[in-house]
Structure 1
């Protein structure tokens, strides 16, 4: 009989700055207690950066815009997908040393074992990042 995988955790949050803290807390609190010391800080940072980017660059400011988060373990990683209704393709930037922003995906690139950007089947964009727990 095949091993049945865990059901991914799934949240919808308003595309509003207050959702960044809620998302970070929900995701890190969902980790098994034994993994929180190793993954909690990095997963919290990934969540904050990806949700912030989704709100700033992927939502169009309508009241009904939602950010979707999905968290699941697979292949020795915890995977986080953050999706927004926008059609942009997030890309690494290399801001000047005096720039006040533009470093979010650089942090994601440094922390994550792997990450990618995927278009959604109907509308929007997802950024998927994985952290190794082995």
Structure 2
């Protein structure tokens, strides 16, 4: 008999800056008890960066649009997908030294084992990033 996978955690938040903290807290609270704190910190940072980018670059109307998060364990990783209604494709770029923004995907790239951008079947874009949990503990 095959092993039955866990049901992914799923949230929807308004495309508003206050949702970044709420999303980070929701992800942290969904992790199993006893999981090494570094995984929670790294997932929190990934969540903050991806949700911030989705709000800034993927949402059109903060009073109408939503950001969706899905978190699930698979293949020795915790995978986080952050989706927004936008059609743009986030790209990894190196900002100018004195730039005050533009480093979010650099952090994602350095933390995640793998990450990608995928169009959603109906509307929008998802950024998916994975953190290994086998390296902790």
Same fold (TM over 0.5): yes
Ranges in structure 2 where 5+ consecutive residues have no aligned partner:
none
Tell me how far apart the structure 2 counterparts of residues 34 and 112 of structure 1 sit (CA, whole Å).
Answer: 21
Q: TM-score, normalised by structure 1?
A: 0.98
Structure 2 match to 1:55 = 55
Contact 1:23 1:47 in 2 (8 A): yes
Tell me how far apart the structure 2 counterparts of residues 62 and 128 of structure 1 sit (CA, whole Å).
Answer: 22
Q: CA deviation at 1:93?
A: 1.2
Aligned Cα root-mean-square deviation (Å): 0.8
Q: TM-score, normalised by structure 2?
A: 0.96
Ranges in structure 1 where 5+ consecutive residues have no aligned partner:
none
Q: Which moved more, 1:29-38 or 1:55-64?
A: 29-38
Count, aligned residues = 134
Tell me how far apart the structure 2 counterparts of residues 17 and 62 of structure 1 sit (CA, whole Å).
Answer: 9
Tell me how far apart the structure 1 counterparts of residues 38 and 52 of structure 2 sit (CA, whole Å).
Answer: 23
Instruction: Classify the secondary structure of the residue corresponding to 2:67.
Output: strand
Tell me how far apart the structure 1 counterparts of residues 102 and 62 of structure 2 sit (CA, whole Å).
Answer: 24
Structure 1 match to 2:72 = 72
Contact 1:28 1:36 in 2 (8 A): no
Tell me how far apart the structure 2 counterparts of residues 94 and 82 of structure 1 sit (CA, whole Å).
Answer: 22
Structure 2 match to 1:92 = 92
Contact 1:72 1:78 in 2 (8 A): yes
Partner deviation per Cα, 1:17-71 (whole Å, 9 max, x = no partner): 0000000000011111221413011000000000000000000025220000000
Structure 1 match to 2:38 = 38
